[in-house]
Homo-oligomer: A and B are copies of this chain.
Amino acid sequence: MITGKNHIGNKQSAKGNTTYKTFNPQLNLENEAVFTEATTEEIHEAVDLASEAFKTFRTISGEKKAAFLNAIADEILALNDELIQMYCSESGLPEGRAKGERGRTIGQLRMFANLVSDGSWLEATIDTAEPEREPMPKSDIRKLLVPLGPVVVFGASNFPLAYSTAGGDTAAALAAGCPVIVKSHPMHSGTGELVASAIIKAAKKTGMPNGVFSNLNSSGVEVGEQLVKHSAVKAVGFTGSIKGGRALYNMAAQREEPIPVFAEMGSVNPVIILPKALKNRNASLAKTYASSITLGTGQFCTNPGLILGIDSRHLVSFIRNLSEEILKIEPSCMLHPNINEAYENNKQKAFAQSNLNVSGSFVNKVKPNYAKQTVTTVDGSSFLENSALHQEVFGPYSIVVRCKDAEELEQIISKLEGQLTGTIIADDTEASQYPEVISALQNRVGRIIYNGVPTGVEVCASMTHGGPYPASTDSRFTAVGIHSIKRWVRPFSYQDWPNELLPAELKNENPLGISRLVNNKQTTDTL
Contacts and interface: CB of A to CB of B under 8 A. Distances in A.
A235 B416 CA distance: 19
Contact of A464 (B136, B143, B442): B143
10 contacts: A136-B456, A143-B461, A143-B463, A148-B475, A253-B253, A253-B258, A257-B470, A447-B494, A462-B493, A476-B489
Contact of A143 (B139, B462, B470): B462
Given A464-B492, A491-B483, A249 B257 contact: no
B143 A492 contact: no
A138 to B, nearest CB: 6
B260 A139 contact: no
Enumerate the 3 nearest inter-chain pairs by beta-carbon distance, A residue then B residue, closest first: A253-B253, A464-B493, A447-B493
Contacts of A431: 498, 501
A446 B491 contact: yes
A146 B476 CA distance: 9
A492 B469 CA distance: 14
Contacts of A250: 253-254
Nearest to A452: B496
Interface in A481-515: 483, 486-487, 489-498, 500-501, 515
Contacts of A450: 494-498, 501
A95 interface: no
Interface string A126-137: 110000000010
A226 interface: no
Contacts of A456: 136, 139
A62 to B, nearest CB: 16
Given A141-B447, A476-B486, 9 more contacts: A127-B461, A432-B500, A449-B496, A450-B496, A461-B520, A463-B493, A464-B492, A476-B489, A483-B491
A325 to B, nearest CB: 21
Contact of A452 (B445, B448, B492, B495): B495
Given A258-B253, A478-B491, A492-B446, A458 B139 contact: yes
Q: How many copies does the complex hold?
A: 2
A258 B469 contact: yes
Nearest to A432: B501
Contacts of A475: 148, 490
Interface in A79-94: none
A338 interface: no
A466 interface: yes
Nearest to A515: B522
A432 B501 CA distance: 7
Given A432-B500, A451-B496, A476-B260, A462 B249 contact: no
Contacts of A362: none
Contacts of A260: 474, 476
Nearest to A423: B495
Interface in A241-282: 249-250, 253-254, 257-260
A451 B495 CA distance: 9
Nearest to A234: B468
Nearest to A141: B462
A188 interface: no
Contacts of A439: 55, 59
A464 B448 contact: no
Nearest to A478: B491
Given A253-B253, A486-B476, A492 B442 contact: yes
A460 interface: yes
A219 interface: no
Contact of A461 (B432, B515, B517): B517
Given A257-B418, A258-B249, A460 B141 contact: yes
Given A260-B474, A446-B492, A126 B462 contact: yes
B498 A462 contact: no
Interface string A34-70: 0000000000000000000001001100000000000
A452 B139 contact: yes
Contacts of A469: 257-259
A5 interface: no
Contacts of A522: 515, 522
